[in-house]
Chain A
Amino acid sequence: NFMLTQPHSVSESPGKTVTISCTRSSGSIASNYVQWYQQRPGSSPTTVIYEDNQRPSGVPDRFSGSIDSSSNSASLTISGLKTEDEADYYCQSYDSSNYWVFGGGTKLTVL
């Protein structure tokens, strides 16, 4: 199976842009969709990006997703940061047998 590696933490100021990476250890990042989930403290996760770059209804367009085959990684970019964006973010993908994998999570601090 493969792993998804994320930075442990990132921080940025309100109004700025931050990018969180998610690197796949084996197999092509492009071969299976990548999703991103947001988990605020004390709450259940919610989906902010699905199928690499699609936003569910209700998710602001400040959130965007992309993949980069050259680095075998996916990225979540949040622009115009707000204090409410402070949360843990997890990437998730799956393999050909439909076994899912979560990344270790990235704690975003907006200060």
Chain B
Amino acid sequence: EVQLVQSGAEVKKPGESLKISCKGSGYSFTSYWIGWVRQMPGKGLEWMGIIYPGDSDTRYSPSFQGQVTISADKSISTAYLQWSSLKASDTAMYYCAKGATAYYFDYWGQGTLVTVSS
């Protein structure tokens, strides 16, 4: 059974760093893209970027390029989304999802709620 299990909710202050995780199981982690999607409170889905764990090929949405870092550790089948300096506007639910192909998701994680507040 394919599963994506994300790390727990985080409460951070502006300016702090953060790294959230997404552990894949039940499939060949290195053979499929993994992506990250932001959903701000009461808003729609926004594609942030994707990574191919097999060779670490990474694509970012222009809206998120330079704002976050997507990485993966294939030895533990885990993908990461990282911020170096959080802002209040980063408050959102973040989903990881497995790419069935390079252009759509077939399985989603449960989401990680990130709250940034002073």
Contacts and interface: CB of A to CB of B under 8 A. Distances in A.
Q: Do A and B bind each other?
A: yes
Interface of A: 1, 32-33, 35, 37, 39, 44-47, 50-51, 56, 88, 90, 92-94, 97-105
Nearest to B46: A102
Contacts, number: 63
B108 A56 contact: no
B106 interface: yes
Main secondary structure of the interface of B (DSSP, over half): strand
A101 B47 contact: yes
A56 B108 CA distance: 14
Looking at A44, A98, A101, the one whose CB has the most chain B CB atoms below 10 A away is A44
Interface of B: 35, 37, 44-47, 50, 59, 61-62, 95, 97, 100, 102-106, 108-111
A33 B95 contact: no
14 contacts: A1-B62, A32-B103, A37-B45, A44-B95, A44-B109, A44-B111, A45-B45, A45-B95, A45-B105, A46-B108, A98-B50, A100-B61, A103-B44, A104-B44
A102 B45 contact: yes
A103 B100 CA distance: 19
A75 to B, nearest CB: 17
A35 B95 contact: no
